[in-house]
Amino acid sequence: MAGPKKLFIKTYGCQMNVYDSERMSEALSTRGYEQTDAMDQADMILLNTCHIREKAAEKVYSELGRLRPLKDGNPDLKIGVAGCVAQAEGEEIVRRQPLVDFVVGPQSYDRLPAMLDQLDRGEIALETEFPVADKFDKLPARSRPSRGPSAFLTVQEGCDKFCAFCVVPYTRGAEFSRPTERVLGEARELVDRGVREITLLGQNVNAYRGHPGGLSGLIWELSEIDGLDRIRFTTSHPNDMDDALIDAHGTCEKLMPYLHLPVQSGSDQILKAMNRKHTAQGYIALIRRIRAARPDILLSGDFIVGFPGETDEDFEATMSLVRTVRYGQAYSFKYSARPGTPAAEKESVPDDISSERLQRLQALLTEQQRAIQDSMVGREVKVLFEKTGRLEGQLIGKSEYLHAVHADAPADNIGQIRTVRIVESVRNSLKGELVG
């Protein structure tokens, strides 16, 4: 009797793609596939792609080119492209790389088992429509094996904001919120399997409308689940940070004091050109309200430098906003055009100017991140230990502020939340000692 077929998935991009890869693996398990970490032993290779970074499509084509020897050595090997590049490129992928057997967009991967029937008939399978039906409702029930103490859970997809630089509305479609009962059911299953911390995911997660009380209503219901000790969410838009969600940060004990709230620029002129529909002062005022509700909250953000039309004065406004807000973590990038987006037709800022601005911004953000991390020394934090470290007897976990923390502790502490005193701040992590 033949053994299970081997599936290798390479995941690019955000946490939502990590979650999607898990669900695609589960869908394919109904057809006898189990995941492997060895690409050269796989019967199917699936690239789950992201369209956010620069030249994303070309990088996928390059990766596909590197798979040619594996396909030549095993003509039965199935190669698929999923995710946002699949949605954006569609038939072009098959035309440019004939070794690809199937292409599936992020809203259609519930169709994967049926697509295998097409492959068995010798057909190329292509699914890049935006179906009306809820793909999550069609996916198989999640498998039951135990898993690590933290997990992602997608609750919202798509975006209606149409920022001038962003492809998400075109690759993920309109905003869609999963019904509360389905989210709660999946959360309970995760907790039954050992999960103690859940991060709620969405392209615009605080636009969640599956509960009458919005995202805060969902968070409060999740907080009633026994065994679920920590709740986080990402990524948010400033315009959807309502009063109830701000209040939840101050009153819901299970909602962690960490918030990723992208602003992109500190210049109102650039924010308007980006179609962000908020101002720099409006964002700063929002941050003050959030900190009034939860003074110790750690803030994270996103920034784009060199957006078309950005002047020196616009960039200095961004630097001023960063100094005002003080970020504990942030992501910053040079603008790169995405085909089909409004900003792609505009004249770019010269690359040498964008590079110099990015270097200055990242230096300031790194300085702030380091200062906030150093300020943790001497404090006691609650750490959810997730895995063993590189050194014998060392465990690694996350504090409530999402700082990586390592400490000497017995292995039976994995999956436990322990009080840890921080004794040293090192590069990108904190060193601690167990208390008690």
How confident is the model at residue 140, as a pLDDT? 65
Closest CA to 156 of 141, 132, 140, 174: 174
**In this predicted model, what pLDDT tens digit does every residue of 88-107 receive, in sequence order?**
888 889 889 999 999 998 87
Q: Is position 252 annotated in a ligand binding site?
A: no
Helices 280-293 and 243-251 pack at an angle, to 10 degrees, of 30
Buried b (16+ CB within 10 A) or exposed e, 132-148: eeebbeebeeeeeeeee
**In this predicted model, what pLDDT tens digit does every residue of 152-185 receive, in sequence order?**
999 999 899 999 999 888 888 889 999 999 999 9
Name the residue ranges covered by the structural domains of the chain. 5-127, 144-256, 292-375, 380-434
CA atoms of 83 and 104, how far apart (whole Å): 7
The pair of three-digit structure tokens given for residue 324, joined into one six-digit string: 């005002």
Closest CA to 22 of 184, 195, 181, 180: 195
Query: Could you tell me the pTM of the whole model?
Result: 0.82
292-375 CATH: 3.30.750.200
**Cβ-Cβ contacts under 8 Å for 317 (sequence gap 6 or more):** 265, 266, 267, 268, 280
CATH topology of domain 5-127: Rossmann fold (3.40.50)
CA atoms of 16 and 166, how far apart (whole Å): 16
For residue 378, the tally of other CB atoms under 10 A from its CB is 8
CA atoms of 134 and 367, how far apart (whole Å): 44
Helices 214-222 and 180-192 pack at an angle, to 10 degrees, of 30
Q: Do domains 144-256 and 380-434 have the same CATH topology?
A: no
CA atoms of 169 and 159, how far apart (whole Å): 5
Whether the per-residue pLDDT at 51 is higher than 60: the answer is yes
Backbone phi, then psi, for 284, in 5-degree steps?
A: -65, -40
How confident is the model at residue 111, as a pLDDT? 85
The percentage of the chain sitting over the pLDDT mark of 90, rounded to a whole number, equals 74
Q: What angle do CA 110, 211, 288 make, to 5 degrees?
A: 115
Whether the per-residue pLDDT at 250 is higher than 90: the answer is yes
Compare 30 and 138 and report the one with higher pLDDT.
30
**CATH class assigned to 144-256:** alpha beta
Burial of 340 (0-12, 13-18, 19+ CB in 10 A): exposed
Question: Measured between alpha carbons, how far is residue 61 from residues 65, 104, 393 in Å?
Answer: 6, 15, 43
Among the residue ranges 2-6, 137-141, 314-318, the one predicted with the least confidence is: 137-141
Q: What angle do CA 112, 116, 117 make, to 5 degrees?
A: 125
Amino acid in the structure at residue 365: L
How confident is the model at residue 131, as a pLDDT? 60
Domain range 380-434, CATH architecture:
Beta Barrel (2.40)
Compare 53 and 219 and report the one with higher pLDDT.
219
The pair of three-digit structure tokens given for residue 380, joined into one six-digit string: 């006691």
